[in-house]
Each structure stands twice: as structure tokens, then as C-alpha cells.
Amino acid sequence: MEKRKLGNGGLEVSAIGLGCMGMSHGYGKPADKKEMINLIHKAVDTGITFFDTAEVYGPFTNEELVGEALSSLRDKVIIATKFGIFIDAKGKQAQDSRPETIRRSIEGSLKRLKTDYIDLYYQHRVDTNVPIEDVAGTIKNLIKEGKVKYFGLSEPGVKTIRRAHAVNPVAAVQSEYSLWWRKPEEELIPTLEELSIGFVPFSPLGRGYLTGKIDEKTSFDKSDFRNILPRFTAEARKANHAIVELIDKIALQKKATSAQIALAWLLSKKPWIAPIPGTTKLYRLEENIGSLNLKLSPEELKTLDDASLKIKIEGNRYPEELEKRSGL
């Protein structure tokens, strides 16, 4: 398995990681725990070392799953988790990145993940009520205490990144990035390159849409959060099919799957990009790993770049109240 370095501090991960959220949160009924532990073990067997979770996934149950799966393999893997989002009394997500809350969060995550340290600890979303310097300073202290190895940020704006990085080096930034969400190319990626910060794209397959297996007739489980996303209305899915057709065309030429084309495109962008596609299926895991053996020519990359920019994608990626949490 190809390895990639995130940041200047020595953090090295498999070129493709595994996003674990969907195993227990967000995409309908949680998958069978035993099957997911087996899937995580299979991922390790194939060379994946990079596993992504968060305390709010479940909440808490996803960290417990990852902890149970990886506790016996701890020295072979990099575990990333996140703090700063909790479920309030009304059942809605809220933010809290106060230093005392971060300290409570790290203790809970360490216990659930059955570990003494977190490799990569992300602020899940920027908390506008807490100066980012206070957040970075708290993580700096946790690093000194040996409870955290590397500091990360999820979906921050570039000003926030610079301010945080000045207090404690940011090893990696996580953000959505794919052929149908290319906004990170405007400011984020140039800033990360300037500061030597790694990039971890989540939803690199457009929450499943770029695999070509979702259309306007697809129905989601009532608890699947794609039901609330403007980009996933039946009308938007039908209107956005042009991006799938573009990827399918290249896939046919390369004798590959659409998912492999979408991931290969991402992997070609920078040597310090490590996407974390999520799955609950072994054949999808193997398919995603197969993208590492797929090399797109400069002409094919240019076709994907140019043509995808000309396609108008219908629907926002989040409802307005959730999009406000993003710094992009």
C-alpha cells in the first residue's frame, strides 16, 4: 500500500484511509457490529492504516466500534477522531470547543477507542464562540501530555487555519472534496500547500453519488441524512447526472469503475492528499483500494478537470444551517 505524509511532523498514512462513520451513523440503520469489525480487519490486511471516526458519530458508538476493532492492532494503525460537536437536548448538533470540553472529550475518546493516545485529533467544526488560539493551545498541551500526536481541523476557513497553525502546527485539514465539490481548489488547497499541511478529503465519492449507483429513483432509509441534503433531492439527482456520465465515460475507457476514476482523480492532485472513502461492504473496500493501481493520463485528467467545471451542479451540499458551520 502506498503511503503519504501529512504535514511536516512525520505523520504517515496509507494513501487511502477508511471513513468509519457510515458503519454506525448517518446512512440509515447501523450495520452489524461483527461484520464491521471484520471489515476493519480486512482493511488492515490490505494495507490501510488510516481510520477516521468522531465522538458524535452515534454518538459514541462509532468510536467504540473502531476501538474494539483496532485495540489489538494499535501499533499498526493511525486513528483520527474529532471533538467539538455534541447532540443537544433537542436532538440537534451543537458546537462546543471550550478547553474544558476538549479535555472531557479526549478522555472519553481514549476510553472508547481503548488507547492511550489519539494519532490525529481534529476540531470537528470551528466554534465561533471560542478563539481558535485557545483550541490550538489546548491541543498543544495534550500533545505535550502524550494524549495526542497531531492536530487537525475539519472544514475550517483559511484564516482559521493560519491562526491555529501559528500556535501549534496543523498536520492535516479535513474537508469535502470531489469531482462535484471542487471549492477547496480556490483557497484551501493553495493555503495547505504553502503551509505544508496534509489534506484529507471526506465524501470523495460524493456520498455515493459518483459511483453511478444512485439516481432520481433511489430511495434512502428514513434515518439517512442524505434525505435532508438539497443536492440529494430527486430533482437534483436527476439534474446532476451529467457528472456521473462524464466519469462513466472515462471508466469505460479505462476498464475501471466510476468510483475508481473519482478516487484516482483525487489521488493525482497532490502527493499529500489522502482521501477517506467510507463503506460497509467488503467489495467496495477492495474496489476503492483498486484505484491506487489506476493511473490517469494527463489528457484524461484534463478532460475530467475541464468538463466537470463546466457542469452546473444543482443543489447545495448542506441545508443552510449546516453550511454555516463550514469555513469554506
Q: Is residue 42 part of a domain?
A: yes
| Residue 273, domain CATH | 3.20.20.100
Q: What is the pLDDT of residues 102-128, one digit of tens each?
A: 999 999 999 999 999 999 999 999 999
Q: Helix (H, G, I), strand (E, B), or coil: what is residue 317?
A: coil
pTM: 0.98
Q: Which of 57, 121, 150, 177 is catalytic?
A: 57
Query: Is residue 325 in a domain?
Result: no
The tens digit of pLDDT for each residue in 155-211 reads 999 999 999 999 999 999 999 999 999 999 999 999 999 999 999 999 999 999 999
Residue 318 annotated among the catalytic residues of the structure: no
Check pLDDT > 90 for residue 246. Answer: yes
pLDDT for 325 equals: 86
From the list 138, 146, 75, the residue with the least C-alpha distance to 117 is 146
In a domain, 178, yes or no: yes
Q: What is the mean pLDDT of the chain?
A: 97
Residue 121: C-alpha distances to residues 164, 269, 319 (Å): 13, 24, 26
Give me the number of domains the chain comprises: 1
Q: Which domain holds residue 21?
A: 3-207+269-294
Residue at 196 is within a domain: yes
**Alpha-carbon distance 35 to 279, whole Å?**
12
Alpha helices in 113-255 (DSSP H): 132-144, 158-167, 188-195, 234-239, 241-254
Q: Over the stretch 279-309, which tens digit does the pLDDT of each residue have?
A: 999 999 999 999 999 999 999 999 999 999 9
Domain-embedded: residue 55: yes
Number of neighbours of residue 51 by Cβ within 10 angstroms: 27
Residue 123 CA to residue 153 CA, distance in Å, equals 5
Q: Kindly state whether residue 105 falls inside one of the protein's structural domains.
A: yes
pLDDT level of residue 326 (50, 70, 90 thresholds): confident
pLDDT per position as a tens digit, 250-286: 999 999 999 999 999 999 999 999 999 999 999 999 9
Judge whether 303 lies within some domain.
no
Task: Give the three cell numbers for residue 174.
Answer: 479535513
Can you say how many angstroms the Cα of residue 281 is from the centroid of all Cα atoms in its chain?
Answer: 17
Give residue-wise pLDDT tens across range 53-87.
Answer: 999 999 999 999 999 999 999 999 999 999 999 99
CA distances, 169 to each of 79, 173, 184, 196 (Å): 18, 11, 20, 10
Q: Which amino acid is at 246?
A: L
pLDDT at 328 over 80: no
